[in-house]
């Protein structure tokens, strides 16, 4: 069936091709008419674009203004303990963001003004994976455009609709007469319900986000989790052996994700969040009801939780949610460069494993990617710096390729040591301790 394009009537004061500056209030009316629930405008030179500017200009060098657009998700579906209901809402609201952004671009194209709609999430530039695959960090632009602020759970909390929003960004080759202002308050009031609800403990009470634990569970049907599934199928010698490793329902879950869009396994951090002016009053009026009706059903969900062996997440599920089933999976990451390895460990670090560690490592990588780096693991915290800083407890000199083979489990440590592709100066036990902080 042919898609019918909506009839959009341009507000008369918006401006036209060749006209230097568009009216912000007319542009807002237009974007809202096309289906957004809120929007704001940011200049390409705004500090909120600093992190992303190079990627944005590579995608669309004409960008002068960024339109941040927000679409609401319906609250009750996102809160449902039946995650199929929540997933339907995530997918449909996500498509809505992409459709609204596309309609905005259609309007400008017809008006002779260049514009680009960037993806809400997927498709991403997967050829760069596991490096950054997105063009715009919608959260940062939305913050600059006054849509909300990132809460303790790291997602943007809209000042009215709370955590129940998805975001998009349109890149525009025109200026607007009035730019939006960032909010001067954060709707997150640190109730920490997101901390309590996350099945893998990815959100720490101090705001630290354990990326790897979130990614390995919530995203098991995506990217690295999908590769794990392929690996487990191809490694199996027979149908019987495959069925012993991967249950029938695990296989059909993968089929469903491929056929209907990948399912998120949790996202409980958004479901339980009571922030946002449209939502908070009901919570404040009866906090117990919020706990009993929204938080507990998610905590009590008997479900499979995907964790890497010996990770903080594994310990968390076993301790906090013994009724949930732990499913051990391989980490969904591989390192394809030393630069990627040094960044990846900041995402994979398991602070719980390093609580009593105090060690400084000086790495010298030789061969195809020569580099020096200092990795400091100190009482549960990790820092990675270029060059050799401070006094090392262990010096590691290694060929870059060989090291990547080792961290991706293609080459054993013994082989590296025997072939002298890895040399250690200091207590070798510290290398084993190092490995425990990044279970894979
Ligand atoms: C990468 C990504 C993820 C990563 C990292 C999440 C995160 N905290 O940033 C993972 C896979 C874990 C993830 C999970 C989820 N995501 Co997501 N995700 C993105 C994406 C593509 C970019 C995020 C971003 O801007 N990061 C950079 C900065 C701004 O974020 P940050 O919190 O300061 O930094 C963290 C990570 O990004 C990470 N990081 C920083 N740089 C890099 C580079 C690389 C290569 C990698 C891998 C990671 C990484 O390190 C920090 C964590 O310690 C955006 C889409 C987009 N194009 O913007 C959606 C987006 C942020 N996700 C979204 C959603 C809804 C989710 C989930 C709820 C998924 C779900 N439905 O189940 C969960 C929530 C997890 C959480 N508590 O944050 C929404 C958030 C909407 C909102 N209200 O803010 C977005 C904006 C998509 C959209 N268009 O609406 N997501
Ligand atoms: S659940 Fe509470 S602590 Fe978490 S983001 Fe929402 S308001 Fe902040």
pLDDT in tens, 122-174: 999 988 887 789 999 999 999 999 999 999 999 999 999 999 999 999 999 99
Verify that 202 and 244 share a domain, yes or no: yes
In a domain, 282, yes or no: yes
Q: Which of 176, 203, 223 is the last residue before a domain boundary?
A: 176
Verify that 36 and 144 share a domain, yes or no: yes
pLDDT > 50? residue 3: no
Domain that holds residue 111: 12-176
5 alpha carbon – ligand 2 mean position (Å): 39
Residues ≥6 apart with Cβ < 8 Å to 435: none
In a domain, 181, yes or no: no
Verify that 140 and 275 share a domain, yes or no: no
Atom 6 of ligand 2: nearest residue by CA position: 273
Give CA separation, 249 vs 245, 253, 256, in Å: 12, 6, 10
Query: What would the pLDDT profile of 158-216 be if each residue is shown by its tens digit?
Result: 999 999 999 999 999 999 999 999 999 999 999 999 999 999 999 999 999 999 999 99
In a domain, 4, yes or no: no
Verify that 308 and 381 share a domain, yes or no: no
Verify that 312 and 404 share a domain, yes or no: no
Query: What would the pLDDT profile of 408-439 be if each residue is shown by its tens digit?
Result: 989 999 999 999 999 999 999 999 999 999 99
Indicate which CATH number applies to the domain containing 416: 3.30.1050.10
84 alpha carbon – ligand 2 mean position (Å): 23
152 alpha carbon – ligand 2 mean position (Å): 6
**Residue linked to tokens 């979130």:** 214
Verify that 21 and 102 share a domain, yes or no: yes
Verify that 382 and 413 share a domain, yes or no: yes
Residue 154 Ramachandran class (φ > 0 left, ψ -120 to 50 alpha, else beta): left
Mean pLDDT of 330-337: 86
Verify that 110 and 218 share a domain, yes or no: no
In a domain, 354, yes or no: yes
Sheet bearing 165-172, strands edge to edge? 38-43, 65-72, 165-172, 115-117
**Residue linked to tokens 């060989």:** 402
Ligand 1: residues whose CB is within 6 Å? 90, 120-121, 130-132, 134, 136-140, 153-156, 163, 165-167, 209, 211, 214-215, 218-219, 264, 267, 269-270, 347
Atom 91 of ligand 1: nearest residue by CA position: 215
**Nearest in space to 200 (alpha carbons), one of 266, 272, 144:** 266
Alpha carbon distance 151, 189 (integer Å)? 8
The pLDDT of residue 15 is 58
Q: Do 176 and 63 contact (CB within 8 A), yes or no? A: no
Atom 68 of ligand 1: nearest residue by CA position: 267
pTM of the model: 0.93
Q: Where are the beta strands (DSSP E) in 56-187?
A: 65-72, 115-117, 148-150, 156-158, 165-172, 175-176
Which of 154, 264, 312 maximizes ligand 1 atoms within 8 Å of its Cβ, making it the mutation to test the pocket? Answer: 154
Verify that 352 and 270 share a domain, yes or no: no
- Mean pLDDT score across all residues of the chain: 93
Q: Which of 176, 203, 232 is the last residue before a domain boundary?
A: 176
Alpha carbon distance 166, 153 (integer Å)? 15
Residues ≥6 apart with Cβ < 8 Å to 99: 35
208 alpha carbon – ligand 1 mean position (Å): 14
Which of 149, 153, 291 maximizes ligand 2 atoms within 8 Å of its Cβ, making it the mutation to test the pocket? Answer: 153
Verify that 381 and 419 share a domain, yes or no: yes
**Residue linked to tokens 């609250």:** 75
Verify that 395 and 420 share a domain, yes or no: yes
Verify that 350 and 407 share a domain, yes or no: yes
Ligand approaching nearest to the C-alpha of 117: 1
Quick one: CA torsion of 416, 421, 424, 429, rounded to 10 degrees? -20
Could you give the 3-state DSSP secondary structure of residue 7? coil
The pLDDT of residue 129 is 80
Mean pLDDT of 84-102: 98
225 alpha carbon – ligand 1 mean position (Å): 17
Q: Which of 291, 309, 328 is the last residue before a domain boundary?
A: 328
CA atoms within 13 A on the CB side of 27: 30
**Domain total for the chain?**
3
Mean pLDDT of 374-389: 97
Could you give the 3-state DSSP secondary structure of residue 372? strand
In a domain, 3, yes or no: no
pLDDT > 70? residue 2: no
Mean pLDDT of 10-37: 80
245 alpha carbon – ligand 1 mean position (Å): 31
148 alpha carbon – ligand 2 mean position (Å): 13
The pLDDT of residue 327 is 93
- Which is the closest atom of ligand 1 to the Cα of 158? 83
Which of 138, 145, 225, 275 maximizes ligand 1 atoms within 8 Å of its Cβ, making it the mutation to test the pocket? Answer: 138
**Nearest in space to 169 (alpha carbons), one of 238, 120, 217:** 120
In a domain, 419, yes or no: yes
Residues forming a β-bridge with 328? 307
In a domain, 7, yes or no: no
- CA angle at residue 36 from 88 to 173, to 5 degrees? 125
Quote the distance between the C-alpha of residue 276 and its chain's center: 22
In a domain, 2, yes or no: no
49 alpha carbon – ligand 1 mean position (Å): 16
Atom 48 of ligand 1: nearest residue by CA position: 132
The total of other beta-carbon atoms located within 10 Å of residue 131's CB is: 13
């Amino acid at each position: 069936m042919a898609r019918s394009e909506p009839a959009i009537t341009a507000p008369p004061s918006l401006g036209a091709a060749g006209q230097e500056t568009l009216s912000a209030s007319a542009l807002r009316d237009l974007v809202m008419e096309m289906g957004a629930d809120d929007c704001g405008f940011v200049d390409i030179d705004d500090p909120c674009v600093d992190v992303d500017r190079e990627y944005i200009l590579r995608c669309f060098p004409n960008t002068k203004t960024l339109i941040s657009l927000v679409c609401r998700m319906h609250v009750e579906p996102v809160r449902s303990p039946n995650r199929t209901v929540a997933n339907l809402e995530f997918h449909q609201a996500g498509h809505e963001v992409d459709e609204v952004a596309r309609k905005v671009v259609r309007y400008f194209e017809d008006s002779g003004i260049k514009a680009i709609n960037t993806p809400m999430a997927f498709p991403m530039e997967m050829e760069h994976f596991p490096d950054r695959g997105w063009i715009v960090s919608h959260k940062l632009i939305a913050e600059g455009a006054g849509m909300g602020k990132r809460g303790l759970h790291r997602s943007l909390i809209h000042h009215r609709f709370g955590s129940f929003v998805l975001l998009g960004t349109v890149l525009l080759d025109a200026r607007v007469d009035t730019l939006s202002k960032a909010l001067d308050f954060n709707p997150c009031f640190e109730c920490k319900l997101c901390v309590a609800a996350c099945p893998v403990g990815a959100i720490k009470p101090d705001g630290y986000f354990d990326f790897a634990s979130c990614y390995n569970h919530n995203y098991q049907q995506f990217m690295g989790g999908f590769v794990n599934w392929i690996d487990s199928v191809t490694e199996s010698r027979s149908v019987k052996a495959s069925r012993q490793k991967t249950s029938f329902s695990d296989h059909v879950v993968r089929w469903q994700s491929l056929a209907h869009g990948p399912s998120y396994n949790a996202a409980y951090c958004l479901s339980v969040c009571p922030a946002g002016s449209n939502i908070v009053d009901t919570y404040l009026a009866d906090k117990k009801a919020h706990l009993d009706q929204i938080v507990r059903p998610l905590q009590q969900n008997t479900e499979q939780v995907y964790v890497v062996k010996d990770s903080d997440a594994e310990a968390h599920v076993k301790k906090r949610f013994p009724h949930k089933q732990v499913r051990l999976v391989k980490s969904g990451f591989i390192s394809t460069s030393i630069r990627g390895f040094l960044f990846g460990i900041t995402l994979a670090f398991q602070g719980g494993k390093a609580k009593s560690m105090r060690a400084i490592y000086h790495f010298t990588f030789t061969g195809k990617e020569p580099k020096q780096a200092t990795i400091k693991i100190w009482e549960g915290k990790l820092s990675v710096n270029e060059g050799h800083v401070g006094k090392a407890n262990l010096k590691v000199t290694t060929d870059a390729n060989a090291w990547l083979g080792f961290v991706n489990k293609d080459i054993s440590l013994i082989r590296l040591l025997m072939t002298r592709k890895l040399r250690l100066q200091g207590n070798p036990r510290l290398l084993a301790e190092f490995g425990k902080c990044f279970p894979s």
